[in-house]
Amino acid sequence: MSAFQARLTVDLDALAANFALLRRLAGAAEVAPVVKAGAYGLGSAPVARRLQAEGAKSFFVARLTEGETLRGALGEGASIYVLDGCPAGSAERLIASRLTPVLNSLEQVEAWSAARGGPCVLHVDTGLNRLGLRKDEAEGLAKAQSAQGGLEIAVIMSHLSCGASHDHPMNHRQAESFAAIRALFPDARASLANSGGLFHGGGFLHDLVRPGITLYGGGPFDHADPRIAPVVTLEAPVLQVRDVPAGESVGYDGGFTAPRAMKVAILAAGHADGLLRAQSPAGWAVFDGLRRSFVGRVSMDLIAVDVSEDQAPRAGDMVQMIGPDVLIDEVAAASGTIAYEILTRLGDRFETIYKGAVQ
Ligand SMILES: *Cc1c(COP(=O)(O)O)cnc(C)c1O
């Protein structure tokens, strides 16, 4: 272990516990982990391989290249769904890596049919207006399918626009609309829920659910949920502890002035590591079980915390920036964002440790 380097610990046992919880909540529906964007920044290969060892059979990524990499990590057995689908020119590569595209438009449907690519997922839009066929397009396709077949639709899916809001009426409108469209494709399995949808339960579960953030330690409704185990711990070393006389300022722009004589610890982590500048002044870190408030701005490589009151850390001690005592949803709230952005922005100059990795 090299000294004075921030450390990122990814607790794959906690990931497995979250997967087990989601499976219980999903009942008979298959839980297909979403491992796009490098498993939300945690590392797609170690995350997906552990989930596979826990029994996951199907995985979602966003990009073709993510799918190709994941195929290498998971071997032949896994089903890998690519949310970008089959944009022009990508069918051959999808087929070569046996990836299943999520077809998002009639153009993609045509391209995949022409390539005779095999099973696909059909994405229908029910109100998000991002990707997916409109209802009339889905109806037209269903007619053509029953007349001449041609497309092997394994799953029909849609995506919620307000999944993270517990009782938003939009969720129910989308659920109704989805139920009507899925009836047009009676042989396909159906999938509507992300993490939020999974926690809505009942009519949102269908045959397959697609959780991401709740696997990685975020709550389903953009705030911390005690049922979800923290997966990521980010610790930064103390580089120096210094005395700041009353009236002097700390950090760039003189944004913080010591109201009294203070002791501050300077930590080796900053916005280049994923701690957002917006987290000052609301941020805090934990050392020795106590919350230590940020003082001054988060800068690129450094942040200062107030250690006046209690046992001060010493150079080389590690301070928790994110983890069981500083939940990602709390960090996100202090930064004016959501846990997804905190995780996917984590930097790459940490010592990274995977607890419970599959060899
Ligand atoms: C990212 C994504 C998910 C996972 O969403 P979470 O909110 O992280 O659970 C599910 N479905 C689709 C289509 C997505 O793009």
Domain positions in the chain are: 12-216, 232-355
- Rounded Cα distance between 266 and 179, Å, is 55
Verify cis geometry, omega within 30 degrees of 0, for the bond prior to 281.
Answer: yes
What is residue 232's DSSP assignment? Answer: E
Distances from the Cα of 156 to the Cα of 12, 193, 205, 211, angstroms: 30, 12, 13, 16
State whether the beta carbon of 195 lies less than 6 angstroms from ligand 1.
yes
Residue 295 CA to ligand 1 centre (angstroms):
35
State whether the beta carbon of 228 lies less than 6 angstroms from ligand 1.
no
Beta strands in the chain (DSSP E): 7-11, 30-31, 58-61, 79-82, 100-103, 120-123, 153-157, 189-191, 208-209, 232-244, 249-250, 256-257, 262-267, 284-287, 290-295, 303-306, 318-322, 351-355
Q: Is 48 helix (H, G, I), strand (E, B) or coil?
A: helix
Give 335-355 pLDDT, tens digit per residue: 999 999 999 999 999 999 999
Residue 194 CA to ligand 1 centre (angstroms):
5
State whether the beta carbon of 124 lies less than 6 angstroms from ligand 1.
no
Which residue is closest in CA terms to ligand 1's atom 3?
194
According to DSSP, the residues that pair with 351 across neighbouring strands are 7
pLDDT of residue 147: 85
For 12-216, CATH gives 3.20.20.10
Q: Which residues are catalytic, by number?
A: 36, 252
pLDDT of residue 255: 84
Q: Is 303 helix (H, G, I), strand (E, B) or coil?
A: strand
Measured over the CA atoms of residue 333, residue 335, residue 341 and residue 345, the dihedral's sign is negative
pLDDT of residue 201: 87
State whether the beta carbon of 211 lies less than 6 angstroms from ligand 1.
yes
pLDDT of residue 6: 96
What is residue 291's DSSP assignment? Answer: E
Q: Is 208 helix (H, G, I), strand (E, B) or coil?
A: strand
Q: Is 269 within 8 Å of 260 (Cβ atoms)?
A: no
State whether the beta carbon of 83 lies less than 6 angstroms from ligand 1.
yes
Structural tokens at position 334? 């202090």
Fold of 232-355: Lyase, Ornithine Decarboxylase; Chain A, domain 1 (2.40.37)
Residue 44 CA to ligand 1 centre (angstroms):
15
Residue 62 CA to ligand 1 centre (angstroms):
10
pLDDT of residue 10: 98
Atom number of ligand 1 nearest to Cα 216: 8
For 171, phi and psi rounded to 5 degrees? Answer: -60, -45
Residue 80 sits at the vertex; the CA angle it makes with 76 and 82, to the nearest 5 degrees, is 145
Q: Which of 58, 84, 210, 231 to mutate to test the pocket of ligand 1 (most atoms within 8 A of CB)?
A: 210
pLDDT of residue 1: 46
Q: What is the DSSP string of 241-276?
A: EEEE-TT-EESGGG-EE-SS-EEEEEES--GGGT--
Collect the ranges in the chain with pLDDT lower than 50.
Answer: 1
| Contact residues for 335 (Cβ-Cβ < 8 A; gap 6+) | 276, 278, 279, 282, 283, 342
Of 348, 296, 342, 302, whose CA–CA distance to 323 is shortest?
342
- Rounded Cα distance between 106 and 132, Å, is 9
130 is in an annotated binding site: yes
50 is in an annotated binding site: no
- Rounded Cα distance between 44 and 38, Å, is 4
